[in-house]
Structure 1
Amino acid sequence: MKNKLLIIGASGHGKVVADIALKMNRWQSVAFLDDDKRIKSSLGLEVIGTSCDVSKNIETSDIFVGIGNNVIREKIQEMLETLGASIPVLIHPNSVIGEQVMLGAGTVVMAGAIINCCTKIGKGCIINTGSTIDHDNLIEDYVHISPGVNSAGNVKIGKGTWLGIGSTVINNVQITEGCKIGAGAVVIKDIKTTDVYVGIPAKTINRKNVT
């Protein structure tokens, strides 16, 4: 780990990421890169350049992608990995992490989140405010777990899936990659087709009564 942290993205999600980094108290300095040149500072921290400036900071800084969109976050993090960047894991001090939990590079765990034992979370994931992930979950790369999501035991969530605020996944359920689960939805059985799912129980909005 290096003494400086650069966060790509200075908007809403990036600010929360920066706040966590500051509370971790591991870096001597924290700053942003953002492609909107009108933004000069965020959360009282300086925006020192754009994403094009990443390469010249690789040797001196840890770099974290503070962008909420799963697809964009994956694209940028994969680029960082090809450049050999040091990509940390950010964990809010007020989260709870159980034993034998694995967190991939570029994942952030926000305030009030609980991750129980023997869960594996891939790289570039967002475990958002007040969410709970129970034992033996497998959360693949670039998943976004929104605030207040509850995932029971032995759940698998596929790469790039987004779980909307307050949604629930019961135990022993698998959700395929690239899905969007609407706010407040309750997933009670396996989701095998990439789509948008809403309601209680969760059903696709594109094909009647198919889950």
Structure 2
Amino acid sequence: MHNPKIFIRGAGSQAKVILEILEVLKQECAGIFDDNPDIKEVLGYPVLGRWDPSMISEDARMILAVGSNMIRKKMAETMGCEWISAVHPSANISTRCTIDPGTVIMAGVSINTCATIGSHAIINTNASVDHDCRVGDFVHISPNAALAGHVTVGEGTHIGIGSSIKQGVKIGKWSVIGAGTVVIRDVPDNVVVVGNPGRILKNNV
């Protein structure tokens, strides 16, 4: 059975984590694309230069290793690739959840029953997504963040490290939840929320 080659776009810290996930899964990365000409390799894997679709075959699969939610969105919408997800085998993921293509799930993550995770999201180390949550496309849930049941997170929002989201809360699109924030009420689009309890610090536009 033919296994399509896997490529990564982005040669920063996210690429290191994704490469090690692929190694654990025994899936080989054929190369990395990055705009920085000074980066020649990452963890021994070759950096092939700027993104060039002519360098990959039609059946190749791509993963974005980019921390910025907005940049991931722009890349995903313009590259026209087939995407795969990378899920660390230590993650505890319900068989009744759904994960869309392009999403990366790091070590120690828990995703409970009937949760849905959109495309090109990052669920980072030891984060917890409980039952019936809805996590949108291009979301980043940082390490040790915890979402209780029935939480909704809109497209492009960043949930900061160690933050806690109360059950049933709805968080809008392209907002930022600061590190350690405790969110106990709904959050609109395009705001920055900090503190315990969380309060809107400023607009994020």
For the aligned pair, the TM-score class normalised by the smaller chain equals: over 0.9
Alpha-carbon distance in 1 for matches of 2:109, 2:21: 13
Does residue 159 of structure 2 align to residue 163 of structure 1?
yes
Does residue 99 of structure 2 align to residue 99 of structure 1?
no
Alpha-carbon distance in 2 for matches of 1:30, 1:184: 38
Residues 107, 125 of structure 1: 8 Å contact kept: yes
Counterpart in 1 of 2:24?
Answer: 23
- 1:1-211 equivalence runs, <5 A: 2-27=3-28, 29-51=29-51, 53-80=52-79, 83=80, 85-206=81-202
Provide, for residues 123-152 of structure 1, a one-character-per-residue CA deviation record: whole Å limited to 9, x for no partner: 010000000000000001100000010000
Tell me how far 1:205 sits from its aligned partner. Answer: 1.0
TM-score normalised by the chain length of structure 1: 0.91
Tell me how far 1:193 sits from its aligned partner. Answer: 4.0
SS in 1 for 2:31: strand
Tell me how far 1:55 sits from its aligned partner. Answer: 3.9
- For 1:161, give the aligned amino acid: T
Between the two proteins, the alignment pairs up a number of residues equal to 202
Q: CA RMSD in A?
A: 1.4
Long gaps (5+) in structure 2: none
Alpha-carbon distance in 2 for matches of 1:60, 1:156: 34
- Runs (4 or more) in structure 1 with deviation over 6 Å come to none
SS in 1 for 2:47: strand
SS in 2 for 1:48: coil
Residues 18, 30 of structure 1: 8 Å contact kept: no
Alpha-carbon distance in 1 for matches of 2:150, 2:22: 30
Alpha-carbon distance in 1 for matches of 2:92, 2:189: 32
Alpha-carbon distance in 2 for matches of 1:69, 1:58: 27
| Greater CA drift, 8-17 or 150-159 | 8-17
TM-score normalised by the chain length of structure 2: 0.94
- For 2:7, give the aligned amino acid: L
Tell me how far 1:2 sits from its aligned partner. Answer: 4.1
Alpha-carbon distance in 2 for matches of 1:61, 1:163: 31
Q: Say if 1:55 and 1:169 are closer, same or farther in 2 by CA, change over 3 A.
A: farther
Residues 163, 181 of structure 1: 8 Å contact kept: yes
Alpha-carbon distance in 2 for matches of 1:184, 1:55: 44
Q: Say if 1:123 and 1:72 are closer, same or farther in 2 by CA, change over 3 A.
A: same
Alpha-carbon distance in 1 for matches of 2:57, 2:176: 34
